[in-house]
Amino acid sequence: MGILILMYNTENYDKFRKAKSRKKEFEKLCKDIPHIPTELVTNMIQSIADFDQNFRTPEVHGTGSVRKWSFTMLSLHQTPLVEFIKYWNWLLPMLIEIDRLIGSINENGS
- Residue 29: its pLDDT value, please? 95
| Residues 24, 38, 94, 97, CA torsion sign | negative
**Residue 49 contacts residue 106 (beta carbons within 8 Å):** no
Q: How many other CB atoms sit within 10 Å of the CB of residue 86?
A: 14
Cα 16 to Cα 26: distance, rounded to the nearest angstrom: 7
Enter the pTM of the model: 0.62
Length of the chain: 110
Q: Going residue by residue through the chain (110 aa), what tens digit of pLDDT does each one get?
A: 898 898 889 999 999 999 999 999 999 999 988 888 898 899 889 888 887 777 766 555 555 666 666 676 777 777 777 777 777 788 888 888 888 877 776 676 65
The number of beta carbons lying within 10 Å of the beta carbon of residue 42 is 12
pLDDT at residue 73, as a whole number: 72
d(CA 13, CA 93): 24
Nearest to 51 by CA among 60, 40, 38, 39: 60
